[in-house]
C-alpha cells in the first residue's frame, strides 16, 4: 500500500493510504487527517492489512502523532486492526458508534479508550481543526457516520461512493475528464444497489450533503471524487434505486 496527499493547507493535511495488493481481502482506503501535529486516522482497516497500512502511514506522519481514531461502523474491514493500533499507541481515543460499542469490542483491546458517538453525531477537535461527525445511518449500517472537514472541504463518506476497482487504480478520479465519472461509476453501481438498503436514508443523506461545500468525497473503497465529480456522484446516487437483489 502507499500514501498520497489529498489536501495540504500548511499544517492542516489529509492523506490517503490505498491500493491494497492482497488478492484475498477487499481493497480498502485508510485516511489520516493531521492538524498542528495531531492526527486522526479514519477507518484504520482490517487485521490482515495492518502491516502494510502501518508502513504507509509512517511515510506520511510519525505514528505517535495519531491521538484519535474514527470508526464509521462495525464491519471487520473498518477496524479489526484496532488491537494492533492500540498496542502501538494505547493513548489513542477511539470514536465509535454508540449502537455498535459492544460489537466493536469483540475486535479486542478491551483496555482501549472508547468514546461513543450518539445517533445525532457530534464534533471533535483535532489539533487546530474542528471536524463534524455526521449521521449516515443505513448507508449501509444501521448506525453509521461520516466525517466532514469544512476547512479542507473533505467529506469522508465511508461506503457511500465506494467502487470495487481493478488493481493499480489511481487514488483520484480525474477531474479533467468528465467521461472519467461514467467509466468509474460502472464499478460502483452493483455495490450501491446491493449494500445500501434504504432509499429514504439515501435521499436524506444527499439532501444534507448538498448543503455542505465538498470538494473531495473520500470513500473507503475506490477513488476519491474531486470537484465536479462530487456533484455528478450526488445526482447519480440520488437517482439510483437501492436495496436491490440481483437487479430486482
Residue-wise pLDDT for 233-246, tens only, equals 999 999 999 997 77
Please answer whether residues 74 and 141 qualify as being in contact, where contact means their C-beta atoms are separated by less than 8 angstroms: yes
Q: Show the domains of the chain with their CATH numbers.
A: 2-239 (3.60.15.10)
For the cut 90, the answer to whether the pLDDT of residue 1 exceeds it is no
What pTM was computed for the model? 0.95
- pLDDT tens string 187-232: 999 999 999 999 999 999 999 999 999 999 999 999 999 999 999 9
What CA–CA distance (Å, rounded) separates 37 from 34?
A: 6
Q: Are strands 93-97 and 66-70 parallel, antiparallel or unpaired?
A: parallel
Residue 141 CA to residue 114 CA, distance in Å, equals 19
Mean pLDDT of 25-31: 88
Determine the angle formed by the axes of helices 199-210 and 228-239, rounding to 10 degrees. Answer: 150
Band (178; pLDDT cuts 50, 70, 90): confident
Q: Which DSSP state fits 141? A: S
Q: How confident is the model at residue 126 (pLDDT cuts 50, 70, 90)?
A: very high
Amino acid at each position: 500500500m502507499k500514501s498520497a496527499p489529498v489536501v495540504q493547507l500548511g499544517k492542516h493535511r489529509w492523506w490517503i493510504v490505498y491500493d491494497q495488493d492482497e488478492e484475498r481481502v477487499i481493497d480498502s482506503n485508510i485516511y489520516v487527517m493531521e492538524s498542528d501535529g495531531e492526527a486522526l486516522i479514519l477507518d484504520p482497516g482490517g487485521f490482515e492489512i495492518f502491516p502494510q497500512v502501518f508502513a504507509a502511514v509512517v511515510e506520511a506522519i510519525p505514528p505517535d502523532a495519531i491521538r484519535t481514531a474514527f470508526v464509521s461502523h462495525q464491519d471487520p474491514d473498518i477496524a479489526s486492526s484496532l488491537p494492533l493500533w492500540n498496542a502501538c499507541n494505547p493513548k489513542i481515543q477511539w470514536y465509535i458508534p454508540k449502537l455498535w460499542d459492544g460489537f466493536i469490542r469483540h475486535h479486542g483491546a478491551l483496555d482501549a479508550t472508547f468514546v461513543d458517538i450518539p445517533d445525532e453525531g457530534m464534533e471533535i477537535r483535532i489539533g487546530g481543526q474542528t471536524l463534524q461527525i455526521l449521521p449516515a445511518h443505513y448507508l449501509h449500517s444501521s448506525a453509521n457516520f461520516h466525517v466532514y472537514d469544512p476547512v479542507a472541504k473533505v467529506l469522508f463518506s465511508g461506503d457511500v461512493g465506494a467502487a470495487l476497482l481493478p488493481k493499480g487504480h489511481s487514488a483520484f478520479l480525474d477531474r479533467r475528464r468528465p467521461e472519467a465519472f461514467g467509466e468509474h461509476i460502472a464499478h460502483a453501481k452493483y455495490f450501491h444497489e446491493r449494500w445500501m438498503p434504504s432509499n429514504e436514508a439515501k435521499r436524506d443523506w444527499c439532501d444534507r450533503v448538498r448543503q455542505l461545500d465538498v470538494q473531495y468525497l473520500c470513500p473507503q473503497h475506490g477513488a476519491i471524487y474531486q470537484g465536479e465529480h462530487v456533484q455528478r456522484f450526488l445526482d447519480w446516487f440520488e437517482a439510483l434505486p437501492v436495496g436491490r437483489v440481483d437487479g430486482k
